[in-house]
Amino acid sequence: MEIKTNLSEMKRRVRPDGPDKVTGRMKYLTDLSFPNMLYGKVLRSKEPHAEIVSISVDEAKSLPGVRAVVTYKDVPGLNGFGLIFPDQPVLCEDRVRYVGDALAAVAAETEEIAEKALRLIQVEYKKLPVVDSPEKALQPDAPLLHPGGNILHHPHFKRGNVDTAFRFCTTVVEETYESPRQMHAYMETEGGVIVPEPDGKLTIYAGTQHGFKDRYQLARILDMAETDIRVVSSPMGGSFGGKDELNVQPYGGLLALATNCPVKIHNSRQESVRAGLKRHPMKITMKTGVDTEGNLVAHQVRIIADTGAYATLGPAVLDFAVEHAPGPYIIPHLEIEGLSVFTNNGVAGEFRGFGGNQITFALEGQMDRLAEKLQMDPVEFRLKNLRKTEDPGPLGQKIAPTNGAFEVLRAIERSYNEKGKEWKQEKADKWKARGTGIALTMHGGGLGIDRMDASGGRLSFTKAGKIEAAFGFEECGQGLLAVIETLLIEEFDCTEEDIRIVIGDTALVPVSGSSTASRSTSMVWQALQRMKDSFRKQILELAELITGISAEQLHMGPGGIWMGQDKDSLEPLITFSDLADQMPSGRAINVHTSFNFPASPDATVGGSHFLYAFAAVMAQVEVDLLTGRVKVDAIDQSVAAGPVVSSLGYLGQIEGGGVMALGFTLMEDAIMEKGIYLTDNFDTYFIPTICDVPYKTNVEAIETLVEDDPFGPRGVGEIGTVAVAPAIVRAIYDATGCWVNKLPVSPEFLLNSIHLGERKQWI
């Protein structure tokens, strides 16, 4: 595997947290222990939809070793949470809406006692009809799951007149696509330790992607001042969006306050499956038409998303899917409708790609079907309809000029011409069919307009002589520490020993916004651009004060301050440590910045983006004609996201995202039946292993930006997952002649299609 890019060795540095992670020395938040620590457990509903007739906790309270049992009566503040709407009860009072709903929480001296106490809590239910699909939820006589009805969000965008435009189209494709309920499958399930402090404050050691947002929600629930709650949120063992919403924190907080003891809660995998977020299953119907020249004319889209029992980030995910429904293509006539629908299924929320994966699977499927009907090369068809550098965004909003779509598509075309055709022609097993497919995507970074996308940072010179960078982001495995370290070394010509990085602790860092939406690298880079000149100036002025040498002759360098006119002949003058020791009393160097993620000035649709990254994917597959199984032999990705900061991190994000998307495409689906998970652990829910990872995986980073672009690197945390599914599906068609419109790809469906299709003679 390789990454094609011109990078200095400095950008290939080993990530600073890498050695401790691979050796097992690193303590994650769920590894922490404290004196007098208790163990918490949460009782969750057995029913997907029911009235609560009664809850009896007397037996559980009397069990030796149980220190506290809490129900809705013990919530001192708001009995609800949710990143957009606080519609999910912390502890249910009169009704449960899914099998993850919490009814009571227990703190005990051992985990075994806590589990036994849960079994002693008696809940009497009155079952209600289960609404287990959006289609049922939208029926006129469906039970109302929330006071406002069963529709959470209903965005709509229209440009031109699709009905009239379709009449002038010579070729039209209409298809419905379905995507699965995917688990985040992080190695460290939701958990942490909540510690009451002697001064009445509370410290939350738990994985999250937005510590300040957690603090805000917990303050409302626990009826405490935000400043009395400290959230320590790094490091965590994976998230991918699944820990952006509160999970165990409210229960740990209630139990810690009730017992005045630290309380550890760590979900088992089965508990995580029941109560954790999932990717939104979507059903997407698209009708797309072209004229005789192959120009896209009209595009009509209807998206139905199963958001489950509660809102969490469902509206934002749907808005993202609506925005990206036209993708990087110029289509004069558009009509896009989205419905996010409440059901009694598991709660769906933020997941890497944020609705882009589902809509791109459908959109690229349309492009492939149209190209096939027109008998056009799929690359040439896309190039013919692709947006140009100065063109507006998908919904007509102004975006940062970019030629990324052309660059990645041309790059993947070269890859296909060099490797794809030759590989396909190689002799395969008699009962194997080979195929190659390509796909394209654009992906908006940041939270989008009207989403309160504030950020910031701080640079300080410490008493120990360290350049301290503080950001309100979290390290959730994505390699952010390596990004910050690399940028600091690059900006100040220092070494890793000269740096101290502080993240993931609301008591120590400025507000920087969430570690989501592919925004962290971009925000760190932009913050440093705003702070670096002032910080460097103050450091050199301090050195001038102490040494008496003009700041104009001084430079920051490895280990301290260097002197000289010519950068090639500098000599060391004073170390950072000595500089700090001799700094006058009362003098401090602290530079702060606060700003918003770049947003479109004229966007009219909530959540619309301004900065985009682009990716094109080539997939090579081999289909077993006897079993219907699909093996992915190679995935090449070309990515245009501006300058690479950390090459190993970049490679890890794109390759890792590709493997996650492989699971989304071929094997992962958290199956529910009548509101109950049938796949409740990893023995029935399959994710890719090393045996499934393609042995040929290549990443090409296109680092060029348009001239005078001031926005720097775009994030790549998500885009590596987005276009893999349609590339694999197109490769399957290339191998078998079978179009797939539902994920994960079913071997049974493929076998039936092959038997019934034009290649029936093969078997």
Query: DSSP readout, 672-708?
Result: EETTEES--STTTS----TTTS-SEEEEEEE----TT
- Amino acid making up residue 259: T
Whole-number percent of the chain with pLDDT over 90: 91
Q: Are 235 and 255 in contact (CB under 8 A)?
A: no
Assign 531 a pLDDT band (cuts: 50, 70, 90). very high
Q: Are 700 and 719 in contact (CB under 8 A)?
A: no
pLDDT at 276 over 80: yes
The phi and psi torsions of 368 (rounded to 5 degrees) equal: -65, -40
Q: Are 282 and 694 in contact (CB under 8 A)?
A: no
Tell me whether domains 396-451+609-763 and 454-596 share a fold: yes
- Read off the tokens for 636: 């090449």
Nearest to 416 by CA among 439, 444, 397: 439
pLDDT at 549 over 90: yes
Q: Which of 67-71, 548-552, 745-749, 759-763 has the lowest mean pLDDT?
A: 759-763
Residue pointed to by tokens 């006058």: 584
Q: Are 416 and 488 in contact (CB under 8 A)?
A: no
Say which CATH architecture domain 396-451+609-763 belongs to. Answer: 2-Layer Sandwich (3.30)
Nearest to 288 by CA among 159, 387, 166: 166
The CA–CA distances, whole Å, from 746 to 351, 504, 618 equal 23, 41, 21
Sheet holding 95-96, edge to edge: 95-96, 50-56, 122-127
Residues 6+ apart with CB under 8 A from 127: 47, 49, 50
Whole-number Å distance between alpha carbons of 216 and 69: 24
For the stretch 421-430, pLDDT in tens is: 777 777 678 8
27 three-class SS: coil
Residue pointed to by tokens 């890498």: 18
- DSSP symbols for 317-365: HHHHHHHTSSTTB--SEEEEEEEEEE-SSPPB---TTTTHHHHHHHHHH
Assign 754 a pLDDT band (cuts: 50, 70, 90). confident
Identify any residues that bridge with 596 across adjacent strands, giving them in sequence order.
Answer: 454
What average pLDDT is seen over the chain? 95
pLDDT at 760 over 80: no
**Predicted pLDDT of residue 10:** 57
Q: At what angle do helices 356-374 and 314-323 cross, to 10 degrees?
A: 20
pLDDT at 212 over 70: yes
Nearest to 325 by CA among 351, 367, 363, 354: 363
Strands 467-471 and 454-461, bridge-based pairing = antiparallel
The phi and psi torsions of 68 (rounded to 5 degrees) equal: -165, 145
Assign 1 a pLDDT band (cuts: 50, 70, 90). very low
This prediction's pTM: 0.95
Distance of CA 675 to the CA centre of its chain: 25
Q: Which of 72-76, 495-499, 565-569 has the lowest mean pLDDT?
A: 565-569
pLDDT at 231 over 60: yes
- Amino acid making up residue 684: T
Nearest to 55 by CA among 120, 146, 129, 130: 120
**Predicted pLDDT of residue 105:** 98
**Predicted pLDDT of residue 7:** 44
Counting runs of H as helices and runs of E as strands, what totals does the chain give? 19, 30
Strands 151-153 and 333-342, bridge-based pairing = antiparallel
Whole-number Å distance between alpha carbons of 101 and 91: 7
**Predicted pLDDT of residue 361:** 98
Domain positions in the chain are: 396-451+609-763, 454-596
Whole-number Å distance between alpha carbons of 589 and 540: 11
Strands 432-444 and 333-342, bridge-based pairing = unpaired
Enclosing H/E stretch for 177: strand 171-178
161 three-class SS: coil
Q: Are 648 and 14 in contact (CB under 8 A)?
A: yes
Residues 6+ apart with CB under 8 A from 761: none
Assign 594 a pLDDT band (cuts: 50, 70, 90). very high
HSE at residue 654, side-chain half, CA atoms within 13 A, is: 30
Q: Are 385 and 296 in contact (CB under 8 A)?
A: yes
Distance of CA 149 to the CA centre of its chain: 29
Identify any residues that bridge with 630 across adjacent strands, giving them in sequence order.
Answer: 623
Q: Are 666 and 724 in contact (CB under 8 A)?
A: no
Whole-number Å distance between alpha carbons of 484 and 504: 13
Whole-number Å distance between alpha carbons of 359 and 439: 13
pLDDT at 157 over 90: yes
- Read off the tokens for 686: 């399959």
**Predicted pLDDT of residue 761:** 38
Whole-number Å distance between alpha carbons of 531 and 527: 6
- Read off the tokens for 300: 């009509």
**Residue 755 has what DSSP assignment?**
H
Assign 533 a pLDDT band (cuts: 50, 70, 90). very high
Q: Which residue has the higher pLDDT, 4 or 719?
A: 719
Average pLDDT estimate for 625-643 = 96
Strands 499-503 and 467-471, bridge-based pairing = parallel
Whole-number Å distance between alpha carbons of 184 and 403: 32
**Taking the domain 454-596, which CATH number applies?**
3.30.365.10
Whole-number Å distance between alpha carbons of 648 and 762: 44
**Predicted pLDDT of residue 567:** 76
For the stretch 30-87, pLDDT in tens is: 999 999 999 999 999 999 999 999 999 999 999 999 999 999 999 999 999 999 999 9
Nearest to 369 by CA among 624, 737, 646, 58: 737
Assign 9 a pLDDT band (cuts: 50, 70, 90). low
**Predicted pLDDT of residue 568:** 78
pLDDT at 514 over 70: yes
Strands 191-196 and 202-206, bridge-based pairing = antiparallel
Whole-number Å distance between alpha carbons of 97 and 155: 24
Whole-number Å distance between alpha carbons of 560 and 465: 9
pLDDT at 6 over 50: no
- Amino acid making up residue 89: P
What is the distance in angstroms between the CA of the first residue and the CA of the last residue of the chain? Answer: 35
Q: Are 183 and 276 in contact (CB under 8 A)?
A: yes
Q: Are 736 and 435 in contact (CB under 8 A)?
A: yes
Nearest to 532 by CA among 589, 588, 581, 580: 589
719 three-class SS: helix
pLDDT at 335 over 60: yes
The C-alpha torsion from 507 through 448 and 742 to 151, rounded to 10°, is: 90
Strands (E), 597-731: 612-624, 630-640, 672-673, 676-677, 696-702
Whole-number Å distance between alpha carbons of 517 and 240: 10
For the stretch 234-256, pLDDT in tens is: 999 999 999 999 999 999 999 99
Whole-number Å distance between alpha carbons of 556 and 200: 44
pLDDT at 695 over 50: yes
For the stretch 125-152, pLDDT in tens is: 999 999 999 999 999 999 999 999 999 9
Strands 102-108 and 282-290, bridge-based pairing = unpaired
pLDDT at 452 over 90: no
